[in-house]
Amino acid sequence: MLEVSGLTTTYGAIAALRDASLTVGAGEVVGLIGPNGAGKTTLLGSIAGLLPISAGTITFDGGDITSTAPEKILRSGLALVPEHRRIFADMTVEENLKIGGITTKSSERAQLLDEMADLFPVLRQKWDTPAGYMSGGEAQQLAIARALMSKPKLIMMDEPSLGLAPILVDLVFELLETLRSQGRTIVVVEQNATRMLEVADRAYVLRSGEIVADGTGQELLDRSDLFDTFVGG
Amino acid sequence: MSELLQNLIDGLGRGSIYALLALGVAVVFGIMHLLNFAHGELITIPGYLAYWAFTNDWTWWALAPAIIVSAVLASLVIERIAFSRVRGATDFTMLLTSFGVHFIVAAGFLLYVGAGVKQIERPGWFANTVSLGSLNIEVFDLIVIGATFAVLGATTWLLQRTMFGLALRAAASDFDTARLMGVKSDSVIRGAFALSGFLAGIAGVFWIMREGQVTPSAGINPMLQGVLAALIGGLGSLRGAVLGGFVLGLAEVLLRSWLPVDIQNLTTGFVFVMIALLFIFRPGGLLSVPQVERV
């Protein structure tokens, strides 16, 4: 469904990502793990069209989306829940969700709003509250719901559990299971590597801007040479 | 008491025009961080159109819509020709670009129309007043205030209730993330310039009517008042811009009436001192909102 080949992204003279290749099949949950600065966020940002790439190609759902505007990539069915959630703080929960569904018809949008309120009860409670007043866990749920509003074929999440209390981290992983059971295709960047590998069908390990390993969750967990990567070293 | 009321109405009338100008400045600043020093051209250009139309015997009924439409078109054309090329550039580059647009437009009128003052006849009712008890209220002020509140109401509805409005606010809050949601950057930027032009057009109708003339540099004053009001309110805040406009208008009128007669000419100077004091105590303006990342 998603095929990335030879992707290189540079900031000035520094290559944040070098020659990265990966594939994601329909219905898969794929993890991207690795220490800080490994290039995970750069990889997602490059796929989503936020960062200008230096080399490589990206195809999604049969179409070439290399160097395409983010709003077009979203329209092709690929959504990103960005790092730090990036919710619109001075807009209400409902307004944030509506923006998430800006590409859908208004009748469909109304139905999707209902679905999100069912899937995330906490959002229903805060429906008319400016999103900036929400806690980190609530904001994370809003960020995910907002991305789901576009009915993406594939949803990418950048560090959904970052900065959350342990009980809320549990909630995020439960949510991943729920989304998986709905048959969604998901790519998740996680610092919490062991936990991610337990959930993911497959995962890629990044270090210093390169993909250094890939395999099923269990295969990677069994590789002792990657241990320092899993603990964030 | 009645003098104060009189001044308040005068100040509201003056402030209304500033509020419309400031809101237009703030909408564009919010979306692309461009402090538009060419905003006054959206009054100069329709001003010359008004002069041409006046010499061709147009009535104000025909002129007013023409001014508004031409301001919207001018705003869109300037975006297309100049600002679309510096999107994503540094704030300073965009600021200089807007200065460039101002000088080019002013030079164009200077070259092809001339430096002289072009008179535009005010409508017959312009100087009329209505008496309310001891108050003498200018009909012009009443119309300006009424029209401004109607336009502000409509703009609020647009921003709160329509998908375009939501997209505009989202893009103003975080442009990249709005694009990630599918907000089209071209459409939302053009929409912002159209709205900014529309607001300047409404303000322009009243500005041109009040001045009764146009010169190549006619845009400087409305631009300065609009930018100042937006700064007073807090750049980036739309409510702040409107508030800033009214505060500026009221401050001018009240100061002029309170200052002793022999230093009334210094009103503008005193207004600037007050603005300087405001920025010492609230550098971000009246309604500046600190952006805090919550975890």
Q: What is the CA radius of gyration of chain A?
A: 17
Supply the mean pLDDT for chain B: 92
| pLDDT of the residue at A223 | 83
| pLDDT of the residue at B295 | 37
CA–CA distance, A4 with B62 (Å, rounded to integer): 59
Do residue B183 and residue A75 have CB atoms under 8 angstroms apart? no
Whether the CB-CB separation of B158 and B164 falls below 8 Å is answered with: yes
Question: Residue A152: its chain B contacts at CB < 8 A?
Answer: none
| pLDDT of the residue at B294 | 39
CA–CA distance, A89 with A153 (Å, rounded to integer): 27
| pLDDT of the residue at A35 | 85
Helix (H) or strand (E) holding A7: strand A2-11
| pLDDT of the residue at B290 | 53
| Predicted TM-score of the model (pTM) | 0.91
Over 70: is that where the pLDDT of B66 sits? yes
- 3 state DSSP class of A126: coil
Structure tokens of A197?
């590998």
Number of Cα atoms under 13 Å in the Cβ half of residue A190: 26
| pLDDT of the residue at B205 | 97
pLDDT tens, residue by residue, B218-260: 999 999 999 999 999 998 789 999 999 999 999 999 998 888 8
Pairing between β-strand B118-119 and β-strand B213-214 as defined by DSSP bridges? antiparallel
Q: What is the CA radius of gyration of chain B?
A: 19
Q: Output helix, strand, coil percentages for chain B, rounded to the nearest 5.
A: 75, 5, 20
* Domain residue limits, chain B: 2-281
For the domain bounded by B2-281, which CATH number is listed? 1.10.3470
What does the pLDDT average to over B17-46? 96
Number of Cβ within 10 Å of residue A3's Cβ equals 16
Do residue A91 and residue B182 have CB atoms under 8 angstroms apart? no
Q: Does A82 touch chain B (CB under 8 A)?
A: yes
CA–CA distance, B278 with A213 (Å, rounded to integer): 58
Question: Residue A99: its chain B contacts at CB < 8 A?
Answer: 166-167, 170, 178, 181, 183
CA–CA distance, B80 with A37 (Å, rounded to integer): 39
Q: Does A102 touch chain B (CB under 8 A)?
A: yes
CA–CA distance, A77 with A150 (Å, rounded to integer): 8
| pLDDT of the residue at A229 | 63
What residue of A is the nearest CA neighbor of B295? A136
Quote the Cα angle for B193-A76-A204, to 5°. Answer: 120
Q: What is the ipTM of this complex?
A: 0.91
| pLDDT of the residue at A233 | 41
Helix (H) or strand (E) holding B225: helix B220-233
Structure tokens of B47?
């001003």
Start-end of H helices in A76-184: 93-100, 106-119, 121-125, 136-148, 166-181
| Non-local CB neighbours of A232 within 8 Å, separated by 6+ positions | A35, A36, A191, A193
| pLDDT of the residue at A218 | 85
Do residue A75 and residue B163 have CB atoms under 8 angstroms apart? no
| pLDDT of the residue at A14 | 84
Query: Which of the listed CATH numbers 3.40.50.300, 3.30.450.20, 3.40.50.2300, 3.90.1310.10 matches domain A2-227?
Result: 3.40.50.300
Do residue B180 and residue A136 have CB atoms under 8 angstroms apart? no
For residue B292, name the pLDDT band (cuts at 50, 70, 90): very low
Over 90: is that where the pLDDT of B267 sits? no
Could you list the pLDDT tens digit for every one of the 233 residues in chain A?
999 999 999 988 888 999 999 999 999 999 999 888 889 999 999 999 999 999 999 999 999 999 999 999 999 999 999 999 999 999 999 999 999 999 999 999 999 999 999 999 999 999 999 999 999 889 999 999 999 999 999 999 999 988 888 888 888 899 899 999 988 999 999 888 888 988 999 999 999 999 999 999 888 888 877 766 665 54
- Looking at B31-35, B76-80, B201-205, which range is the least confident one? B31-35
B236: alpha, beta or left? (left if phi > 0; alpha if psi -120 to 50): left
Structure tokens of B154?
């409509």
Whether the CB-CB separation of B71 and B197 falls below 8 Å is answered with: yes
Whether the CB-CB separation of A156 and A187 falls below 8 Å is answered with: yes
Do residue A82 and residue B167 have CB atoms under 8 angstroms apart? no
Structure tokens of B14?
């003056």
What does the pLDDT average to over B68-91? 96
Sign, CA dihedral A25-A31-A34-A35, equals positive
Q: Using the 8-state DSSP alphabet, how is residue A130 labeled?
A: B
